Amino acid sequence: MALVSDIVSNVITEISQVPGVATQVYSADRIRLFVQNAFEMEINEMWWPNYMYRQTVGVDGVTGAITSDLKGPISFIDDYSDIAAIYMSGSNRKLRELNQSINPNLMTTGLDTWYVAPDYSVPHRPFRVYPITSTGPVIVWARQENTLPLALTDDLKLDALLLRYDACWMYAVDDGTVPAQVNKYQMLATKRRQQLKAALAQQPLELDPRFPSGAIVYDEPSQDWFTLSQSPLS
């Protein structure tokens, strides 16, 4: 979690330039663009929890369109590809995506026949539910994003170290004077990405959901919880 200006300053220091965004009049803008490029790549690497948002919206029952904008605390959600899952209220089953082999005009209302498809006819409402007579509500789990282009004052919720190594690698590749430096930042960025993914895979898995909530366990802790290895990707 860091401001774009802080990441740019750290990259300037990392690549052995004179510190300070104001000092590096030429390279600061290029490095800011590299940080933006890194952000655009990494935001799509996985569903990062810091950018995910869950919202309940209605479905109008006439056109299948949702009745309110998708908007989290960071941004509106405008792109269909940023939607991770859509659920019917009261169901754990994700709605399926409508494919070209299904004629939506022949669909009838039913709990097992709901589908979703992209729809950009209304801003900030990037999907439609089929059959169009469906009434919802539905629960949307989607990804927010910082507004592009990034400004130096923007606050990024992705890991600052990963973005720094990505930007350093991009700068070193363009500079091309020290091949070992290119390899160094590429390896560091790859390792940091693995660490972040591994950290998000460390939540304990409940082995027996029938175990009463809040009960005290006097036997070994491993009896009711299983935790993955601390470094599953190393």
Structural domain spans, the chain: 2-46+158-180, 52-143
Range in 59-73, 116-130, 137-151, 211-225 the model is least confident about:
211-225
125-147: pLDDT as tens digits: 999 999 888 887 999 999 999 99
The DSSP symbol for 50 reads: G
Residue 4, classified by CB atoms within 10 Å of its CB into exposed (0-12), middle (13-18) or buried (19+), is buried
28-50: pLDDT as tens digits: 889 999 999 999 999 999 999 99
| Range list of β-strands (E), the chain | 2-3, 52-57, 83-88, 96-97, 115-118, 127-130, 138-143, 155-156, 205-206, 225-226
Residue 129, classified by CB atoms within 10 Å of its CB into exposed (0-12), middle (13-18) or buried (19+), is buried
Closest CA to 187 of 174, 171, 202, 168: 168
| Secondary structure (DSSP) of 178-209 | -HHHHHHHHHHHHHHHHHHHHHHT-SPEES-T
